[in-house]
Structure 1
Amino acid sequence: MPHPLVTANELAALLDDAASGGAPVRVLDVRWSLGGPAGLPLYREGHIPGAVYVDLDTELARQGEPQEGRHPLPDAADFQAAARGWGLNDGDTVVVYDDWNSLAAGRAWWLLRYMGASDVRVLDGALSAWTTAGHPLAVGADDMTSVVPGAITLSAGHEPVLSADDAASLPANGVLLDARAGERYRGETEPIDPRAGHIPGAISAPTSANLDDAGHFLDPDTLRERYEALGVSVDRAVGVYCGSGVTAAHDALALTVAGFRPAVFPGSWSAWANQPERPVATGATP
């Protein structure tokens, strides 16, 4: 698998090569944040040239029952249709970015991998890395209206996932990580879901610890040390969840950079908390 991160200058070089007849590169703008602002107006104000806007709520998730969580995985056929609408073809290099510490971009990266895309990368440092490096932005929506539909073939199941039952049993013989902020893990606050706390046996692993002060992912050795200190090893199963399955992908990306193969619980806490029969733990310990 190609390295899951790309620097701004590496992306610029890939785009220059593609413009000169080299391998195609598709750039996806996945700006989104819980509670706004909306990503599409930001895209129109300025985006990486050639990028296509992707809506997380409607294209990287589907509507479901509360017991499925707030961002259930989209059906494979629907996702394939969306990806073709972004202009993706089999074998394309796909680069995703946002302006939210790569949290939404991590979801796009993981979902594309789960659906079978072969070369997906996240712009390390998010959009600010691109502008800080001196690269230009395009304005308006011409890059959206000029997309030539692609013919990518996708199907579900190319990355491991956890059901609620899997998440419940994993701490007995593996490691289950909670990617949310520490106060939500401890149950001190819960602004969205019906119950506060964490899955019994889960270990707190906030996404903020994956990045340096500039929003870049830590180097592989440092990330490996971080996760090994939480009990992760190559010979133990590791899974991760968050609030609704979005930021869990950020930990999954960091774990992948560190050399591990994580599974994601897509329903995450929003699914667990809406199943009254599921137990809840609170406090700082698993």
Structure 2
Amino acid sequence: MDGLITIEALAAMLGADDLLVLDATYTSTIPGAARQDPRAEFEAGHVPGALLLDLDTLVDAENPLPSMLPTRQVFEARMAQLGVTADTRIVLYDNSPHHTACRAWWVLRMFGVRAAILDGNIVHWRAEGRAVQTGPQLAATTAFTAGEPMAQLRTLDDMRTTSEQIVDARSAARFSGEEADPRPECAPGHMPGARNIPYGRFFESDGHWKSPEGIRAVFDTAGLDLAQPLVATCGSGITASVIVFAAHLLGHEIALYDGSWTEWGAQPDTAKVVGA
């Protein structure tokens, strides 16, 4: 399981001993975004049998940058708490306008864990009249050892010298610098040579993912060649994961700059470009 899964397919799988459904809603560190209470939302209603991933805990708490990749030790401890084993089939979903299941998918892959993403969040699940479960859920703890990365990470030092194509998931106004960055320490604009694909362009008006042809058209329109190395960035590494997952659906593995503009835009010696 390593792509999109439909609501119908997931509903048919519920109850399987090796299935683990995880709610990957995140409390938003994006300035200006409405903050959420993922635990309260989860307990108010979730896919039957699902557990709360608690994506807020899968970060490097000692890093001053927001939502950075957790350490291997932190990741392994969380997976063990959730009862994950080498044979577990994982399906992720969220209740977030930022499609944070994509971030969870990327984090899991960085530690060798495959997962599918539900095409349609809990809102779509409810809209179809599917059953929901309320209250907290507990898992039987297991022993868990992370594997080798299946995803690609880029650091600030990598980005200073990269020759890769760069694609930015932020809004057109923030990318161009027309809109000031919501983080006062960050300059406006974007990285030199970057192209802009606001992450929402990969979705239909009803919130479902576009077809593979539609996704490819988004990359083509932005002037990006998926056959060549590509790295995704955004404000804090969250919505860039949407672009990484979109490329994955087309059979291409691209990198993610985890520090993103929060890091690059605050450096006094990094080049910043304004304009479309």
Kept in 2, the 8 Å contact 1:184–1:190? The answer is: yes
CA distance in 2, matches of 1:30, 1:264: 19
Alignment of 1:108-257 (within 5 A): 108-118=104-114, 120-141=115-136, 143-144=137-138, 147-155=139-147, 157-170=149-162, 172=163, 174-187=164-177, 188-192=179-183, 194-195=185-186, 196-257=188-249
Q: Size of the alignment, in residue pairs?
A: 269
Structure 1 position 70 matched with structure 2 position 38: no
CA distance in 1, matches of 2:202, 2:229: 20
User: 1:273 Cα shift?
Assistant: 2.2
Q: Which amino acid aligns with 1:92?
A: T
Length-normalised TM-score, structure 2: 0.91
| Residues 251 and 193 of structure 1: CA distance in aligned 2, closer, same or farther (over 3 Å) | farther
User: 1:201 Cα shift?
Assistant: 1.3
Which structure has greater helix proportion?
Answer: 1
Alignment of 1:22-101 (within 5 A): 24-34=18-28, 35-57=34-56, 59-66=57-64, 69-101=65-97
Q: Secondary structure at the match of 1:73?
A: coil
CA distance in 2, matches of 1:278, 1:157: 28
Q: Which amino acid aligns with 2:176?
A: R
Q: Which amino acid aligns with 2:47?
A: I
Gaps of 5+ in 1: none
Where does structure 1 differ by over 3 angstroms across 4 or more consecutive aligned residues? none
CA distance in 2, matches of 1:260, 1:163: 20
Gaps of 5+ in 2: 29-33
Q: What is aligned with 2:253?
A: 261
Identity of aligned residues (%): 30
Q: Secondary structure at the match of 1:107?
A: helix
CA distance in 1, matches of 2:67, 2:175: 19
How far does the alpha carbon of each residue in 1:153-202 deviate from its partner, in whole angstroms, 9 at most, with x for none? 214633111122322443x4x31100111111112221135222211111
Kept in 1, the 8 Å contact 2:14–2:48? The answer is: no
Q: Which amino acid aligns with 2:167?
A: L
Length-normalised TM-score, structure 1: 0.88
Q: Secondary structure at the match of 1:259?
A: coil
CA distance in 2, matches of 1:210, 1:74: 27
User: 1:132 Cα shift?
Assistant: 2.0
